[in-house]
Amino acid sequence: MIKNFLPDQHVKSIFEITPESLKEKGIKGIITDLDNTLVEWDRPLATPKLVSWFENMKKSNIAVTIVSNNKELRVKAFSDPLNIPYIYEARKPLRRAFYRALQQMGLEKQETVVIGDQLLTDVLGGNRGGFHTILVVPVAKTDGLITKFNRQVERRILNWFRKKGMIHWEE
């Protein structure tokens, strides 16, 4: 059970994930979290650098779907200007939204990665669904109340993995 919290990969930023590195693994699609994965939880729109990252994925024929536990208003306001499909109120770590995203993209789970900043929602949900999971360092140092609690639990889990020699990156 505890291994469901262990990501397959860890990166400091979404920008370390390139179309080339994904294609080497046979990846054709990305299911990504929004808040603190792509932008700060209180930033309403994508940064120019992030817009360029999305465009690069699109040019490389890598589909992207945003899957967020946030409300429709927040996710729609961010996704619509970028013309990126999204699923809101996803209830991660439940798997249903991940499978909906797969269906929307017309892909298989072995062709898709799940990217997020939280072990308890993104990584757990992605791993339980059988996806390749990538944990990113949160973009912002601040969080909402529920996420603050999650981060405390995550630190304990990460420390356990570190002590067991299962992870080798710094926080």
Listed by start position, the domains of the chain span 2-141
pLDDT digits (tens, 9 = 90+) for 80-129: 999 999 999 999 999 999 999 999 999 999 999 999 999 999 999 999 99
Beta strand 29-32 with 9-11: parallel, antiparallel or unpaired? unpaired
pLDDT at position 142 is 64
Q: Would you say 66 and 32 are in contact if contact means Cβ atoms under 8 Å apart?
A: yes
Q: What predicted TM-score, i.e. pTM, was given to this entire model? A: 0.90
Three-point CA angle 75, 134, 90, nearest 5° = 30
Residue 21 CA: distances (Å) to CA of 2, 28, 42, 155: 27, 11, 30, 28
d(CA 134, CA 32): 9
Contacts of 72 (CB under 8 A, 6+ apart): 88, 89
Contacts of 161 (CB under 8 A, 6+ apart): 5, 6, 167
pLDDT at position 152 is 81
pLDDT at position 144 is 64
CATH architecture of 2-141: 3-Layer(aba) Sandwich (3.40)
Query: At 87, which helix (H) or strand (E)?
Result: strand 86-87
pLDDT at position 105 is 98
d(CA 23, CA 168): 25
SS3 136: strand
pLDDT tens digits in sequence order for the chain, 171 residues long:
788 999 999 999 999 999 999 999 999 999 999 999 999 988 999 999 999 999 999 999 999 999 999 999 999 999 999 999 999 999 999 999 999 999 999 999 999 999 999 999 999 999 999 999 999 999 977 666 666 777 788 888 888 888 888 877 655
pLDDT at position 71 is 96
Contacts of 37 (CB under 8 A, 6+ apart): 14, 115, 116, 117, 122, 136, 138, 139
